[in-house]
């Protein structure tokens, strides 16, 4: 969840690291730090807070490492910020992930006389490196350190003046440029310098000054590739926030998601004769649940499951099972772990992922790219509609239907965004001080209501609860009182019953907002969207994304970096 970046080359390292860490701040913005190898030794600069609001440190160095933190072990303090050093200040480490046996290692190292300054699990790494570096050469010291670590990690270390790296369970990619070598959690941190990358595998380690990568004691081959991402897409441009930029990009990204190759046909053929499970977390789980309704109409029994709760399904997984794994980053730890367990049972994996070269993309039997480009805002917007577009495309292929309906929906996206902005701004002003918002829908609009509630609470911190409309009267309606906003999603298939539920809450004083192709007296405010049959949920997401964005602004929240959240969840 944190972001790490290292550089070694011919250029001044600190400005490169500082700029790159800003690009990684969506992975963590509790605190940040940089350590540079200088003529005076290691020099470190650490601060609490968002790096995008900080000044750049000045070190004369061509080799440095940096970190943006999302706190796991230890409070948000300067003491707990990375990099962490050994006692003599000759070894520095930045780390993403969790060292699960950190407590045991800490006790063992304390018995050897090592003293700890932070509450973090990371600090055991520089002390372990120190212990072995006093006894062995650099390669052996690093390898022995790795053998003692248990958990999920990627780390960079400045060890005896060399830039070392290691990965096991958390993402790490090398960027190769004419001016030097970058090693990072994510491609956008060096995209403005190079698109030539080497994606590291679990167990890989090495040193930046060598052209070799090791796995255990063996030298391994990891091919270089040229990434297709456009550097301009990773920039905010004239937009005030990435969230708004990425919402508006959906008029292009939905079309790109629909422009797929023969893998769609192969995947559809697999789905049509198998037991299907759809795995995701957060927004990805919600989009999978929406798609499961459409797949059911096509004759496919697709079971959506939260990846973190997939274990009860494992006894039923076998060689006839298909897992559709959804993840923007392709590095979501819960999804990766569930997929690995399913593969042990011989299940086939179809991944729908946005990030090129990610663990899920590389480990799938069939990978279908979202083609959304870098999504920098912590909240999923364009990746959500891309997932829905691809899942709908799969369903259409199963039914042997033309994708023209989906292309029609894509063509409507810019109009929905443009027409919704004014209403969303007005609604945000009206709702900014509300304590709770309820969202309801039926059929595929029920998980869409859950996604709507997730968006609202993620970015504006208003309590929001999404549910099937029919469940209101089975308990939640007790919370409805005069003025409580209820957002209603309805379409031609669900409108009659859903309107009945809207009238139930309206009779109790609720302020009812209808996101629907048709207006109704039950709606105090109506946001109109086209009714394009099964493609309607994809368009219904757009108004709620805009409303969430403007609610955040009205409440003084940062839409790109909501508190306590990180873009890529690489820990369980």
pLDDT > 90 in the chain, percent: 80
Q: What is the 3-state secondary structure of 193-229?
A: CCCEEEECCCCEEEECCCCCEEECCEEECCCCEECCC
Average pLDDT over residues 100-115: 94
Tell me if 3-227 shares its fold with 411-558: no
Give residue-wise pLDDT tens across range 396-448.
Answer: 999 999 999 999 999 999 999 999 999 999 999 999 999 999 999 999 999 99
pLDDT confidence of 188, banded at 50, 70, 90?
A: confident
Give residue-wise pLDDT tens across range 372-384.
Answer: 988 889 899 999 9
* Beta pairing partners, 512: 486
Give residue-wise pLDDT tens across range 67-97.
Answer: 998 777 678 888 888 899 999 999 999 999 8
Give residue-wise pLDDT tens across range 321-335.
Answer: 999 999 998 988 899
Other residues' Cβ atoms within 10 Å of the Cβ of residue 259: 13
Could you give the 3-state DSSP secondary structure of residue 370? coil
Average pLDDT over residues 457-470: 96
- What span, in angstroms and rounded, lies between the C-alpha atoms of 278 and 267? 13
pLDDT confidence of 274, banded at 50, 70, 90?
A: confident
Q: What is the pLDDT of residue 232?
A: 62
Q: Is residue 571 pLDDT above 60, yes or no?
A: no
Q: Is residue 238 pLDDT above 90, yes or no?
A: no
For 6-20, 269-283, 302-316, 488-502, which range has the lowest pLDDT when averaged over its residues? Answer: 269-283
- Buried/exposed code over 8-47 (b: 16+ C-beta within 10 A; e: otherwise): bbeebbbebbbbbbbbbbbbbbbbbbbbbbbeeebbbbbb
Q: What is the 3-state secondary structure of 246-313?
A: HHHCHHHHHHHHHCCCCHHHHHHHHHCCCEEEEEECCHHHHHHHHHHHHHHHCCCCEEEEEHHHCHHH
Are 35 and 158 in contact by the 8 Å Cβ rule? The answer is yes
End-to-end CA distance of the chain: 11
Sole residue written with tokens 């030794």 = 41
Q: Is residue 371 pLDDT above 80, yes or no?
A: yes
Q: Which of 526, 456, 461 is nearest to 488 (CA)?
A: 526
- What span, in angstroms and rounded, lies between the C-alpha atoms of 79 and 76? 8
Q: What is the pLDDT of residue 132?
A: 97
Give residue-wise pLDDT tens across range 534-564.
Answer: 899 999 999 999 999 999 999 999 999 888 8
Q: What is the pLDDT of residue 54?
A: 84
Q: What is the pLDDT of residue 109?
A: 95
Average pLDDT over residues 182-202: 92
For the chain, what is the mean pLDDT?
A: 92
Q: Is residue 572 pLDDT above 70, yes or no?
A: no
- What span, in angstroms and rounded, lies between the C-alpha atoms of 333 and 572? 6
Q: Is residue 17 pLDDT above 60, yes or no?
A: yes
Catalytic residues: 2, 567
Per CATH, the homologous superfamily of domain 241-401 is Glucose-6-phosphate isomerase like protein; domain 1 (3.40.50.10490)
Count Cβ atoms within 10 A of the Cβ of residue 205 and give its class: 0-12 exposed, 13-18 middle, 19 or more buried: buried
- What DSSP state is assigned to residue 535? G
Q: Is residue 234 pLDDT above 80, yes or no?
A: no
Q: Which fold has domain 3-227?
A: 3.60.20
The CA-CA-CA angle for residues 523, 527, 533, to 5°, reads: 105
Q: Where are the domains of the chain?
A: 3-227, 241-401, 411-558
- What span, in angstroms and rounded, lies between the C-alpha atoms of 536 and 442? 13
Q: Among the residues of 123-198, which ranges form H helices?
A: 124-133, 138-148
Could you give the 3-state DSSP secondary structure of residue 561? coil
Higher pLDDT, 296 or 227: 296
Q: What is the pLDDT of residue 353?
A: 96
pLDDT > 70 in the chain, percent: 97
Q: How many residues does the chain have?
A: 572
- What span, in angstroms and rounded, lies between the C-alpha atoms of 395 and 285? 17
Are 51 and 29 in contact by the 8 Å Cβ rule? The answer is yes
Structure tokens at 378: 């912590």
- What span, in angstroms and rounded, lies between the C-alpha atoms of 112 and 140? 20
Cα Rg for the chain, rounded, in angstroms? 25
Could you give the 3-state DSSP secondary structure of residue 468? strand
CATH 3.20.20.70 corresponds to the domain 411-558: no
- What span, in angstroms and rounded, lies between the C-alpha atoms of 44 and 50? 17
Are 232 and 252 in contact by the 8 Å Cβ rule? The answer is no
Could you give the 3-state DSSP secondary structure of residue 185? coil
């Amino acid at each position: 969840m944190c972001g790490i970046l290292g550089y070694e080359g011919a250029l001044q390292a600190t400005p490169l690291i500082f700029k790159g860490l800003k690009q990684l701040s969506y992975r963590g913005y509790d605190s940040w730090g940089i350590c540079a190898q200088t003529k005076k030794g290691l020099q470190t600069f650490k601060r609490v807070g968002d790096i995008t609001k900080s000044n750049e440190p000045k070190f004369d160095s061509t080799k440095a490492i940096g970190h943006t933190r999302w706190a796991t072990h230890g409070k948000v303090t300067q003491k707990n910020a990375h990099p962490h050093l050994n006692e003599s200040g000759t070894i520095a480490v930045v780390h993403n992930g969790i060292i699960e046996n950190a407590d045991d290692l800490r006790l063992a190292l304390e018995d050897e006389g090592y003293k700890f300054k932070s509450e973090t699990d990371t600090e055991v790494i520089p002390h372990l490196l120190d212990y072995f570096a006093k006894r062995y050469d650099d390669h052996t010291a690093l390898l022995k350190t790795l053998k003692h670590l248990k958990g999920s990690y990627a780390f960079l270390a400045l060890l005896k003046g060399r830039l070392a790296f290691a990965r096991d369970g958390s993402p790490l990619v090398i960027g190769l440029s004419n001016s030097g070598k970058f090693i990072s959690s994510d491609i956008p941190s060096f995209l403005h310098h190079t698109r030539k990358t080497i994606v590291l595998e679990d167990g890989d380690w090495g040193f930046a000054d060598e052209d070799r990568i090791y796995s255990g004691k063996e030298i391994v081959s990891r091919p270089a590739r040229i990434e297709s991402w456009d550097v301009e897409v990773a920039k905010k441009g004239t937009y005030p926030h990435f969230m708004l930029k990425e919402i508006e990009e959906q008029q292009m990204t939905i079309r790109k998601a629909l422009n797929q190759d023969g893998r769609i046909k192969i995947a559809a053929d697999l789905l049509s004769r198998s037991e299907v499970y759809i795995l995701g977390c957060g927004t990805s789980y919600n989009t999978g649940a929406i798609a499961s309704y459409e797949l059911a109409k096509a004759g496919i029994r697709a079971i959506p499951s939260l990846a973190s709760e997939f274990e009860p399904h494992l006894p039923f997984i076998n060689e006839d099972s298909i897992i559709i794994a959804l993840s923007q980053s392709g590095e979501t730890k819960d999804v990766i772990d569930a997929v690995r367990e399913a593969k042990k049972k011989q299940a086939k994996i179809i991944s729908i992922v946005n990030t090129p070269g990610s663990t899920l993309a590389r480990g799938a039997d069939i990978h279908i790219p979202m083609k959304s480009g870098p999504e920098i805002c912590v909240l999923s917007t364009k990746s959500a509609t891309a997932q829905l577009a691809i899942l709908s495309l799969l369903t259409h292929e199963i039914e042997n239907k033309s994708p023209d309906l989906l292309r029609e929906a894509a063509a409507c996206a810019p109009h929905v965004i443009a027409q919704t902005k004014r209403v969303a701004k007005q609604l945000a002003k009206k709702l900014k001080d509300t304590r709770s918002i309820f969202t309801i829908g039926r059929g595929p609009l029920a998980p869409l209501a859950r996604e709507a509630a997730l968006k609202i609470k993620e970015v504006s911190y208003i309590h929001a609860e999404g549910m099937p409309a029919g469940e209101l009267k089975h308990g939640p309606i007790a919370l409805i009182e005069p003025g409580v906003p209820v957002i209603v999603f309805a379409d031609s298939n669900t409108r009659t019953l859903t309107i009945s539920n809207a009238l139930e809450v309206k009779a109790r004083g609720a302020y009812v907002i209808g996101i629907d192709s048709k207006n109704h007296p039950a709606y105090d405010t109506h946001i109109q969207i086209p009714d394009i049959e099964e493609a309607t949920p994809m368009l219904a997401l757009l108004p709620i994304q805009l409303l969430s964005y403007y609610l955040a602004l009205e409440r003084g929240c940062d839409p790109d970096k909501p508190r306590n959240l990180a873009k890529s969840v690489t820990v369980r």
